[in-house]
Structures are given as C-alpha cells and as structure tokens.
Amino acid sequence: MKTAIVYYSRTGNCEYVAKEIEKEAGCDLIKLETVKPYRFLNGGRAALASEEPELVPYKFDAGQYDHIIFGLPVWASCVTPPLRTFISRNIEALHGKKFSVFLCYKGGGGDKVIAKLRDLLGIQKFEAEMILIEPAKKPDIEKTKMIKAFAGKLR
C-alpha cells in the first residue's frame, strides 16, 4: 500500500514541506484548494467558526492508501477549514488508516491543532508529528533535518 500527503498551503510553507517529504519518502501528493481563496484575516475567522469551505475537485481514492499524512497551517489554533472539509467528506473512507501530521506556522497553537485533528479523526495518536516555523520562508539546516527525520519514520 501507499502513503498520501493531503495538504493545504496558503503561503507555500506546507507545500514546500509536502514536496520535500515526497522526495524523501515517495508519497502521493493531494493538494487541497478552496473555490474561494482565503486571505489572512478571513482564514482565521473561518477556522474559529469551524467552517467547511467548498474545495476545487481533487483525486483521492482512500482504498489505495494505508497511511495518510495531513499537512496544514495553524490558523487561530484551529484545524484549517480546507482540511476540515476533506476529513468530513472522507471520514468513512479514512477509517482504519494510519495517520501522521505536519504543521507550519508563524505563531503558536500547534499542539492544540494536533489535539483537535486527533478528535476529528477519532484517533489516540499520530504515527509521526512535526511542527515547523515558516520552513519555506526561513529554511535552515535544522528544519531540513526535521523533515528528513519525519520522512524516515514513514518508510
């Protein structure tokens, strides 16, 4: 079976990490995009309101994957709305899968998002977790090592 990285990236940080993990671990990438793009402030409000925006159509066949990695930015210490939409639309198909998560942010609230994401998925723990501060905008050797170590846990 294979691993999929399902991610949303407004500023490019999560996309950067998803592509780095893909290079290291050979995962399939599933990029989520909203029909109506988010700006900074309306994204935070939407996250606090637990909105589920309409997504641009994407290809995802849960039966092909045994491991799903979620990549998302942290908005107002909440699960990013596009990921919330993806999970709610696919929750039955996700049952019984293994999950990992990486978060990108500028501020804080990552631990809260991980807990909320576990609750949404109905799981106790993730196989692997990683939180990075602006990895594409402020790359450094430590972040590169963290991404490689995270990808190593997927093999």
Q: Which amino acid is at 133?
A: I
User: Domain map of the chain by residue range?
Assistant: 2-152
Contacts of 115 (CB under 8 A, 6+ apart): none
Q: Which pLDDT does position 34 carry in this prediction?
A: 97
Assess whether pLDDT exceeds 90 at residue 39: no
- Rounded to 5 degrees, φ, ψ at 101 are -150, 145
CA–CA distance, 9 with 16 (Å, rounded to integer): 9
Task: Indicate the fold that domain 2-152 takes in CATH.
Answer: Rossmann fold (3.40.50)
Give pLDDT tens digits for 4-38.
999 999 999 999 999 999 999 999 999 999 999 98
